[in-house]
Amino acid sequence: MYVINLIYTAPLERIDDALEAHRAFVAKQFEDGVFVAAGPKVPRDGGIILAVRIERDRLDAILATDPFAVQKLARYEVTEFKTTRLAPGLNLPIPA
């Protein structure tokens, strides 16, 4: 599993101009089963995404197609971790 810390590198006006395209990108990754959670940080200086069931090199290739990355509006810090415990009712994959 990966925690993706998206950090804006451009003014919010430019972020807002690309937001619809970014949201379409995120929706596609949800449909493909790669992203399982996503949302803006508070304060609004970026966002957080959780990704699962993917190799790191493929994840990096996908993130490079995000309109925020293509337009150089954000950078990404990706942290991989092994899920060993979940709250009851939370249905995320636990690696073997």
Peptide linkage before 95 cis (omega within 30 of 0): no
Question: Which residues have C-beta within 8 Å of that of residue 49, sequence separation ≥ 6?
Answer: 3, 4, 6, 26, 35, 37, 38
Q: Report whether pLDDT(96) > 70.
A: no
Q: What DSSP string describes 17-34?
A: HHHHHHHHHHHHHHHTTS
pTM, to two decimals: 0.91
Show the domains of the chain with their CATH numbers: 2-80 (3.30.70.1060)
- The model's pLDDT over 70-94, given as tens digits with 9 standing for 90+, comes to 999 999 999 999 888 888 888 775 4
pLDDT of the residue at 93: 58
> Residues 33-61: pLDDT tens digits?
999 999 999 999 999 999 998 999 999 99
